[in-house]
Structure 1
C-alpha cells in the first residue's frame, strides 16, 4: 500500500481488497470523496458493509441509466424516471445484476399502477391519459405489454383480462380510423363542392350579357347592392377583381323591370325585397348570416328603448360601485363578467345588498327560486329575457382577438333598458362605435383613480422584496421559478396563474391578503378581478409571448397590471417597479404617464351563433359543419366591411373538421362541441372527438379522474402540471355536461374530482411554502443574502391541510 496515499485512498484500497469490489476509473473520484466523509477522525479503514453502501450510492445513477435505456428500447413509455430512481434507491447490493434491478423496477411500477385505479381497466385508461399529456400514444403491441403489466400488478393470472382489453383497444382504434376516414371523405366532398362553385364564377364583363342589361346598369346595381358579388379578389395594384355566380344572376332577371322603376329605393329595402327564396352563392350566404347587419340579429335588444352608460377609469377607480348600486335597486338585472371568479363576486355583491341572484357560467349553474337577477360570464349572456339594468365589465376585452366577439354580442344584445358598460379608457372608441351601430344613446362617465399610482425611482432586487409586493411574470414556468427562488430565501409565497382553477386562485389571494404569504408571484391573470391588497407591483419582465410572438408590454397592459398596486383603503398609494436587469424604472414612469394607445381598428369583432350556422346550412343545403364554416369564412363578411370584422374561428374550424367523421350528431350538437373550451396543446381536440364519438354512439362519457395524487409535500412540478391539466379537462367535461346531460351523466363525480384536484393543488402550493418556512426556522436566520431575519409562526391549519392524509389514497371518478 502506498504510504503517501491519503487516509481515504488507503481505506478505499483496503475495503476493495477485502470485498473484491474494485471501482472503475469513473467511479473512483466520487467514491474517494464519499469514503473521506465517512471516515472517523484519525481512521484509515472503513467497514466492508459501509464500503458496499457507498459503492451502491455511486452506482445508482448508472443503474438508473441502464433501466432507462432498457425500458425505452422495449417501448415501455409508462415507466418514468421517478420509477427508476425509486427502484435503484431500494437496491443495496453493489453487485446488482440487470435482472435484479429489473425485478425491483417491476415491483415499484406495480405499486404505482395499483395506486392509479380500483380496477385494471381504470388503470389502463389513467396511464393512457397521462401519456397523452405529453403527446405520446401507445401502439397495439405496447398496449398488449401494458395490459400484461397491469394484470401482474393486480395478481391476475388468466389471459382473459388482457384479451378483453386488447379487443376493446382494437375496436377503439378501428373506430378512430373509421372516423378519420369519414371525416377526410366529407371534407373532400365539401371542398370539391366549393371549388366547383368557384370555378363556375364569371367576371364582370359577362354580367351584361347574362342579365340582358347595359354595363352601366350593372355597375349601378352593384353599387346599390342589388347584384351580389360572389367573390372579391385583391389585385397587386390595390383594386379588386369582382366575380359573379351566373346561376344567381339568371335568377335575378325577373327583378330587372322593378329595379329600373324603383332605382331610388333605400338599400335595405331593396335587399329585403329581392332576396326571395333563391338558392344563390356567397353574397346570399352573407345576407343569410347577416353579420354585416349584426346588431339587427339581437331582436329583443332592438325592440327595447335602451340607454347605455359607459363608465371608464383606471384600475382602482371604483367603476363598479355606482353600477352595482343601480343593479341592486332595479327590479330585474344582469351582471356579466369576464371570468367565472368575477361572476361569483358579482353575485356575492348582490347577495350582500340583500338581492337574490342566480349564477350561470360555462360549467356551473346556481338557481335561486324567485331571483330576478343573474350573474354570469359574458359568453352566457341571455339575449331573450328583458331586464331593467345590466352591467358588462372589462369592456376593453372588445379588442381581444380570442374573446372580443363575445363582448360585441353582449353589448349589442344585452336586453336591458339601462346598460352599464365598465372598462379601461381604451374601450371608449369601440363602445361609441357599437352604440352608434345599435342606434342607442350613450352617456359617458370618466373616473379618476382613488389612490395615487407612481413609478419606483430604482429597480428592485429579488432579495429586496417586501411584504405586500406582487411580482409579475408572464409564464407558468417563470412564476414557479420565482416562487422556488423566493422560498429558498425564506419568504412565504402565494402564486396566481392562468392554469389554476378560480377556487385555487381565490385561496391563494386570500393567503396573500391575510398575511399567510408575504409575497405574491403571479402572471398577468391578476389584471382582471381578484381583490388583492398589493402595495407594490414589481415586473419581472417587460416583454411577453402573446401566443404568436414575443413583444414589449403595451401602455394598457402596464397600466392595467400596475394599477393593482395601492388598494384603496389599505395603502396610501401604489408603486410600480421592475426587477433589476429586467428593465428601466424610467420606462415604467413613461408608460404610466402615457395617454391610451390609439385603437386603429374600430370595427367590432363578430362571429356566428347557432341560429346563423343553421340558416347558412339550410341555404347551402348541407348538414356539414365543416362545409358551413368553410363558407362562412369565405363569404359572410367582406374583409373591407365598413362596420364589422370576423373573429378568429380557427379552433372551431379545427374541431368541426375533426368531427366530420363522427356520425349521429346533428348540426347544432356539432356547433356546441366546436364552442367547447379545450386546449389544443393538451390534445384537447382529439379528446373532444373521442367524447363526441361516445356521445353519438349512445355511450355515456365518463368524467376525467384525478389520477395519482401523491402527498402534497412530495409533489413536484410534473405532478402539479398534470393535476392542472386534468382540472382543465374536467372544466371541458362539465361544460358539455350542462349542454348534454344524458351523454355526460356523472356530474356529481366530476364535481367531486374537481374539488379533490382544487384541494390538492392548493395544499401543494400551501404545504411547500410551509415546509420551506419550517426548514428555515430550524436552520436559523440566513445571513448575507438579504433574506429577512425575523421568524414567522406557521399559518393556521386550513381546509386543505385537514385533508392531507387522504391525498395518497385512490380517488377518482
Structure 2
C-alpha cells in the first residue's frame, strides 16, 4: 500500500487506501475520479478500475517493446488490444509481451485467409508508409505470420527464407537505383554548370561563324541561329541572349546557302541587305536550309515554352472563338454552356475534378447526349459517341470538335494545377470554346486568347437567387437543418461533426480525403434529409449542388500550404455562394460561427470587386514532346538533367508572355527514379506526372513501384486487408482506409499508362469499391452507434 498519502479526503480515496492495492501518486487522481462514480466500491471494483487506469501506460510500454524488438508492423491498436487483455494490476513485462504477441497474431490471422496474402498486405503497408522492411525484418514478420496462421515447422522455414530473400533483393534493387540516381544527378549538375560557363554573348557569334555582325544579327532574328538562353543583365535589366558554341560552329557550312537565299529574296532594286527585314530573310534562308539538322533545331526551339501556343498544332489550324462566361455561384454558367454543348454534333466538357466530370456526363445524358468519360484513373468509352466528359488534364489535343466547355477557369492562377488550364484553353481543338469561371479569370483568359490569335466574347451572368451576409455570428446551438458548416482541415471537420452528433444532430461530411463516390453519397444523405447538417471543407465550393440554406464558416482563416491567412474575396464568394440554391430556397445566407471571426468581414468580402491578378502571364509546363526535344538537344537521358535545363534555360523568369509552372515535385520524382534501370526517359516522365501526396511518402512509394516496374516484376496494388466492422472502426482506422484509397488512385493512374507493369486493375477497382462502401458505412454507422449510446 502506498504511504505517500495523508488522511483520505473523500470516500473514494478511503476505499482505495483500504483495498491494500499499490497505487502510484500519478495514478491516484484518475483512480479517485473513476471510483467516485462506482461507490460503494469493494476491493474487486477498485482493482478493476486500477487496471483500467494502467492500460494507457501498458499500451505505451507495449509500443516501446515493439520498437526495441524491431517490429514496425505493430500498431497502436495492437498495443491497446494487448493492454485490454491484462486483468492483473501487477502484470509483469513478460505478461505484457505475451499479450502483445497474442494481439498481433490475432490481427495477422484476421488480415487475410492465408499466410501469403497476410504477409503481402502487412509488408505492403510498411512499404506504402515509406518504411520498406529489410530482409531481416521481413523474415521476422514472415515468422510471426506463419505462426499466426499455423504453418508447419517445415513450411514456416521455407516461407521465412523466401520472404527474407525477396525483401533483400528488392532492397538491393532500390539501393542500386538510389545510388545510380545520385550519380546521375551529380553528373547532370556538373554538365549544366559547364554548359552555362561555355555560353557566349551575341558579340562572340560572328567570330565563331566567320560572318559579319550584321549577318549574325539578321540570322539570329530569323531564328536560324539558336538562342541557348535569355537572361536579364544585373545592370539596367537589359535582355541578354546567350549562345552555345557547340551549336554555332556546325552552322558554318550553312552560311553559303543562307547568303544565296538572301540574294534570291532580294528584288533587282532591293534595299541593302542590312536594311531588309529579318522575317523576309528568314523565310528564304529557311527554304535553303530545309532538311538540315540545324533547321530542325530551329523548329524545335520555335515550339519551346516561350512560344507555347505553337505546341497545339490542331488548335492553331482552326478558327476558334472563345466565349468567357462569368458570374457568381448559382448563376447558371454551366447550364448555359451544357445546353450549347449538347446541341453540337461533337464536343467535350473539361472539369477540375473527377466528381464534376461525372456530373457533366450525367448532365449531358439528361439532355439526351451519351458521352464517354476520361479521368486520370478511369475510362468509360461509349461506342459511337462524339462527346466526352473529362478532367482538364485529360484534354485530347488532337481530336477536333465543334464545342468545348472548360470549367473553373480561375484555377489558371492555382500554383499546382494552373498550367493544365493554360494547356486546355490554348490547346482544346474546338471551334467554339466556352470558358467558365469567376470574374477573376477574365484578364488571363483574354491574354491566352491574344497569344493564340482567337476571338473573344464575354457573357456576364447574375445570380439567380439573392445572397446575404448575416449581421451577427451564429452560435453552435443555433445550427439547424439546411446548414453547411465549413472548416479547413479534416481534423476540424471531424471535431465539429463529433460535437454536433453529441447534440443529437444528423450530420453528413465532405472533405478532400473522401473519394468522389463517398462525397456523393454523403451529399445525397444531406439532400434527402437523412442528414440535416453538412460539415465540409472548402472542397464543397466546387461541384456538389446541395440544398443549402446557410453557409456558416467555422473560421475566417485558413492554412493555404504556406501560411495561415484570412480568406480572400474569391474564396468567400465561391464557398458562400453554395447557400440558397435556386429552386430550393428563395435566398441564401452566409455567416460565421461565434468565435470564428467578425461578421462584417464576410459582408466586406462579398462586396469586394474582383481582385486584380498579381500575375497575368499564364503558367506553362513541359510536355512529352518538349522533354524529348530538350533531351535530344543536350544529349542526355537524365530526366532530372532535362528538367533542370528547362528550369534554367528554356524559359527565363521574366519572359513577357509565360511563366514556368512549379516543377518542384516533378524534379523530386526525377531525382528519385532517374537511376531505375529498365525505364525509358518517357517512362520516367510519366512517373513524374503521377498525382502523389508527398506528405504520405508518395515519392518514396512511387520510386519503389518504379524499381519493380523496371525489373520486370508486377507492381501490386495497395490493399487494406480485412477491415473491422463499421460499428467498431476507430478514427485511426478510418483515416488509414482513406489513405489506402488515395494510394489506389495513384496506382490506377499508373495502371492506365503501364498496363503490363500494373496488371491487377480489376483487383484494384474492386478494392477501391470495397473501401468506398466501408468508409461510407463507417460514417453512417458511427452516427447510429452514438445515437444508440445516448438512448441507452
Fold similarity call, TM over 0.5 = yes
Out of 290-299 and 442-451, give the one that drifted further: 290-299
Equivalent in 699, 711, 724 of residue 713 of structure 2 = 699
Partner of 1:539: 553
Shift of 1:170: 0.9
- What is the deviation of 1:537? 1.0
The one of 143, 152, 157 equivalent to 1:148 is 143
1:20-59: CA deviations, max 9, x gaps?
A: x44445555555555555444xxxxx65544543443343
- Pair 1:237-2:232 in alignment: no
Partner of 1:118: 113
| DSSP-derived class of the 2:752 partner | helix
Show the counterpart of 1:99.
94
Are 1:507 and 2:521 an aligned pair?
Answer: yes
Shift of 1:568: 0.5
Any idea what SS the aligned residue of 1:266 has? helix
1:265 aligns to 2:263 (yes or no): no
Whole-Å separation in 2 of the counterparts to 1:449 and 1:272: 55
Q: CA RMSD in A?
A: 2.9
Superposed displacement of residue 106, structure 1: 1.0
1:490-533 deviations in whole A, cap 9, x for unaligned?
22111111111000111111111111111111111111111111
The range that moved more, 403-412 or 638-647, is: 638-647
Alignment of 1:273-284 (within 5 A): none
1:174 positional shift: 0.7
Structure 1 residues 338, 25: CA separation in 2 closer, same or farther (over 3 Å shift)?
Answer: closer
Q: 2:174 aligns with which of 156, 173, 176?
A: 176
- SS at structure 2 position matched to 1:687: helix
The aligned counterpart of 1:81 is 76
Partners of 1:425 and 1:545 lie apart in 2 by 24
* Aligned pairs for 1:706-745 within 5 A: 706-745=720-759
Q: Is the 8 A contact 1:288 1:612 kept in 2?
A: no
Structure 1 pair 553/221, CA: closer, same or farther in 2 (3 Å)? farther
What does residue 627 of structure 1 align with?
A: 641
Cα distance change, pair 605–686 in 1 and its aligned pair in 2 (3 A):
same
Q: Is the 8 A contact 1:386 1:416 kept in 2?
A: yes
Identify if the C-alpha distance between structure 1 residues 48 and 519 changes in structure 2 by more than 3 Å, giving closer, same or farther.
closer
8 Å CA contact 1:288–1:615 kept in 2: the answer is no
Task: Name the count of aligned residue pairs.
Answer: 769
Residues 203 and 242 in structure 1, CA contact (< 8 A), matched pair in contact too: yes
Going from structure 1 to structure 2, the CA distance change for 1:771 and 1:34 (only over 3 Å counts) comes to: closer
Shift of 1:722: 1.0
- In structure 2, the residue matched to 1:429 is 443
- In structure 1, how many angstroms separate the alpha carbons of the residues matched to 2:601 and 2:39? 58
Measured at CA, do residues 25 and 663 of structure 1 come closer, stay the same or move farther in structure 2, by a change above 3 Å?
A: closer
Whole-Å separation in 2 of the counterparts to 1:67 and 1:451: 59
Indicate yes or no: 2:626 matched with 1:612: yes
More off after superposition, 680-689 vs 151-160 = 151-160
> Which residue in 1 is equivalent to 2:478?
464
Deviation at 1:749, TM superposition (A): 0.7
Q: Distance in 1 between matches of 2:461 and 2:631?
A: 47
Query: Counterpart of 2:165?
Result: 167
Select between 743-752 and 648-657 the one with higher mean Cα deviation. Answer: 648-657
**2 CA distance for matches of 1:466 and 1:115?**
42
Partner residue of 1:324 out of 331, 338, 346: 338
Pairing 1:462-501 to 2, within 5 Å after superposition: 462-501=476-515
| Per-residue deviation, residues 266-316 of structure 1 (Å, max 9, x unmatched) | 287489569867778999597154222222221222222222222111110
User: What 5-or-longer segments of structure 2 have no aligned partner?
Assistant: 263-272
Task: Decide which moves more: 182-191 or 336-345.
Answer: 182-191
Aligned to 1:571: 585
Query: What is the aligned partner in structure 1 of residue 434 from structure 2?
Result: 420
> In 1, Cα distance between the equivalents of 2:17 and 2:349?
79
- Give the Cα–Cα distance (whole angstroms) in 1 for the partners of residues 289 and 663 of structure 2: 27
Is there any run of 5+ residues in structure 1 with no aligned partner, and where? 41-45, 780-813
Return 183-192 or 506-515, whichever deviates more.
183-192
Residues 66, 185 of structure 1: CA spacing in aligned structure 2 closer, same or farther, 3 A cutoff?
closer
Q: Which residue of 2 aligns with 1:518?
A: 532
Write the distance in 2 (CA, Å) between the matches of 1:490 and 1:581: 22
